[in-house]
Amino acid sequence: MTSPDDSTPPQPGPGPESESGSGPVYADRVYRSGSAIAGGVLLLALAAWLGLDALIRGEDRTPWYALAGLLCAVPLIIAFTLRPAVFANAERLRVRNPFRTITLPWASVEGVRAGYSSEVFAAGGGKYQLWAVPVSLRARKKASRRAARAAADDPHGNTSPHAGVAGGDRRAAADQAIDELQELAERQASNEAARGEPEVRWAFEVLAPSAVGAVLILVLSLLG
């Protein structure tokens, strides 16, 4: 459902020099899946339409089932479509997944890689998936075909390496994002402000209402 084909990895904005003199401070780079957001908006619209119709026109316990269903489903839809994002600045990487938010100072990041999914590896063996940077095998194949055509058109490598930038990069969007994050991790690993331990916070604002909705559905079912 999610694909990074339509999303372009954001570029860092200019910022003032850091107080420690270690280099310029950039605004957060934000990575999100545009198609996931679009799908989430459509699902929320569908849930609102069906749920409100059941609440208004439903009979007997139907409105209660509709209310419980909305309470359970809406947070989950938001969690898997609108919520996922990756924020990167000069000090840390913050990964917002459906049910957890992981904050990783760059010094604790051992690597960022994309195989069949995008993952960040932390010191001590921790591994966290980047839900906001989904890997699309189809996009990779298209990028490989573009690169092969470009190589065939220029077998001697006479074209400037910057010549194809305006027409789009020759790598899949997810791979471009992972390359940027890995480069940032390597560059900022020695930054004094980027030291610290990974922190994980559960998204109770998503889990709690979904659990309440599920319990309400169960209670209604038991009551017949």
pLDDT of residue 136: 78
| pTM for this predicted structure | 0.76
**Could you report the per-residue pLDDT of 68-79, keeping only the tens digit for each?**
999 999 999 999
**Pick from 165, 179, 188, 175: nearest CA to 117:** 175
Q: How confident is the model at residue 144 (pLDDT cuts 50, 70, 90)?
A: low
pLDDT of residue 16: 38
What's the sign of the alpha-carbon dihedral 19, 22, 26, 30?
A: negative
For the cut 70, the answer to whether the pLDDT of residue 6 exceeds it is: no
Beta strands in the chain (DSSP E): 29-31, 85-88, 92-96, 100-105, 109-114, 118-122, 127-129, 199-202
- % of the chain at pLDDT higher than 70: 75
pLDDT of residue 157: 57
| Paired tokens of 86 | 């990756």
Query: 12-26, 50-64, 131-145: which has the highest mean pLDDT?
Result: 50-64
| Cα angle 186-137-128, degrees, rounded to a multiple of 5 | 45
What is the domain partition of the chain in residue ranges? 25-149+166-223
Q: How does the average pLDDT of the chain come out, rounded?
A: 82
